[in-house]
Amino acid sequence: MWKLQISLFGILFVVIFVEATVIPHLWSPLRVDLFIGMIIGLIIHTPYSQGFPFVILASLFLQAFSGARLGYLPLLYVFTYLCIDLLKNIVYLENVFTQLTIGFLFFLVTTTAVVASVQGSIIDTNLGALLFGAVLTGSMSPIMATLVRHLKSTYES
| Residue 42 amino acid letter | L
Per DSSP, helices labelled H in the chain are: 2-17, 23-26, 35-45, 48-66, 72-87, 96-118, 127-156
Q: Cα–Cα distance between 42 and 96 in angstroms, integer?
A: 15
**Quick one: pLDDT at residue 137?**
93
Q: Cα–Cα distance between 78 and 81 in angstroms, integer?
A: 5
CB 11 within 8 A of CB 147: yes
pLDDT tens digits, one per residue of 131-153: 898 999 999 999 999 999 999 99
**Quick one: pLDDT at residue 130?**
85
This prediction's pTM: 0.87
Which residues of the chain are under the pLDDT cut of 70?
Answer: 68, 119-125
pLDDT tens digits, one per residue of 22-44: 888 888 788 888 899 999 999 99
